[in-house]
Amino acid sequence: MVSLKYLQGYPVALQQQVRQLIADDRLGDYLAQRYPGRHEVQSDKALYGYVMALKQEHLKNAPTIDKVLYDNRLDLTHRALGLHTAISRVQGGKLKAKKEIRVASLFREAAPAFLQMIVVHELAHLKEADHNKAFYKLCDHMLPGYAQIEFDLRMYLTWREMTAAN
């Protein structure tokens, strides 16, 4: 039986549907049909511009983001697809906080919707620290259909891991 570690929190019926796609060797085709192509946001500079445009559109009053980049060190073993951090430093007599968003490098090769989902997720953390109802409501406001895209992203990660193992 195929391990669905990225889909463990989902109902058994949904997991069974994914297992059936895998058994029929159709998971890759399903994902390619639903999410064709890759995005063109390839550099850290382009990613910064992409994130700032989404922030400006949906979260104008959120704290400023000082740094955005693709990070080779983020990996799936730590379940980190993206990361938001606030680094506080003392400069002179003042405490300065710098906010960063890091996106796992594997998303350079992903579909546009998957990159947008990761960025929306990290931006939502600027307003909501926890993964609560308000957090997911904000995610869905910034990206309608957020929950379905997150589920499909988890299927993509499962497929990616399966194809890498073969």
- In tens, the pLDDT along 114-161 reads 999 999 999 999 899 899 999 999 999 999 999 999 999 999 999 988
**What is the pLDDT, as a whole number, of residue 52?**
96
Residues 110, 150 contacting (CB under 8 angstroms) = no
Percent of the chain that is helix, strand, coil (3-state, to 5): 55, 15, 30
Residue with tokens 């390619």: 32
Percent of the chain with pLDDT strictly greater than 70? 87
Residues 108, 74 contacting (CB under 8 angstroms) = no
**What is the pLDDT, as a whole number, of residue 164?**
82
- pTM (two decimals): 0.87
pLDDT higher than 60, residue 76: no
Residues 73, 3: Cα–Cα separation, whole Å:
24
Strand partners, 95: 90
